[in-house]
Amino acid sequence: MALGYVRPARPEDAGEIARIQLATWRVAYRRILPRHVLDNLDEAFLARRWSAAVLEPPSGAHRVLVAVEQAEQSYLVGFAASGPADGEALAPGEPADALGPDVAAVTDLLVEPRWGRRGHGSRLLAAAVDLWREDGMSRAVAWAFDGDEATRKFLTSTGWEPDGAARALDVDDMLVPQVRLHVGVPTEKVPAE
């Protein structure tokens, strides 16, 4: 197990978060999303969006967390973004109030592939769950690409299950199916083994 920790993202992390997002998407989604879409993603644009997410979140319950690998130097290796469920968390045709105010939604949970399988994803998820509990959330949801077996396997190994909702994202005239997973947020912190 790697030495590492999770902390809230800082404004100066935005560029590194964008780099991690691009690097991860280009590896993990290369068989899911069209290549030209991945090739044309603008890192500077993503960095500006992450900077805004860190500096001006829609609420105090919207958070960006980063995973840090500790060695001779420290490296940002992953991140998670979540907040109260909104319209983006809904399935097509689902009523606006279907998820309720006590449901958190994960919008991103990525660890750069070269830093995978070192506990960073688990630490990010555990830190997010602690914050959801503090915010009074009782459940969390996350959309995953149907073809993203790594994310689906990771989430289901931690207790997440498909909730039956599905959608397809239109990515440059290509429909990319997604499934929604959910998990209950424990009311008390689970002690580490």
User: What are the tens digits of pLDDT across the range 102-147?
Assistant: 999 999 999 988 767 777 999 999 999 999 999 999 999 999 999 9
Neighbours of 90 (CB within 10 A): 19
The residues that bridge with 27 in the sheet, in sequence order, are none
DSSP 17: H
Average pLDDT, the chain: 91
- Structure confidence at residue 1 (pLDDT): 45
d(CA 191, CA 78): 24
For the segment 140-172, what is each residue's pLDDT rounded down to a tens digit? 999 999 999 999 999 999 999 999 999 998 888
d(CA 191, CA 169): 38
For the segment 56-104, what is each residue's pLDDT rounded down to a tens digit? 999 999 999 999 988 778 889 999 999 999 999 999 999 999 999 999 9
User: Could you tell me the pTM of the whole model?
Assistant: 0.91
Domains in the chain with CATH codes: 2-182 (3.40.630.30)
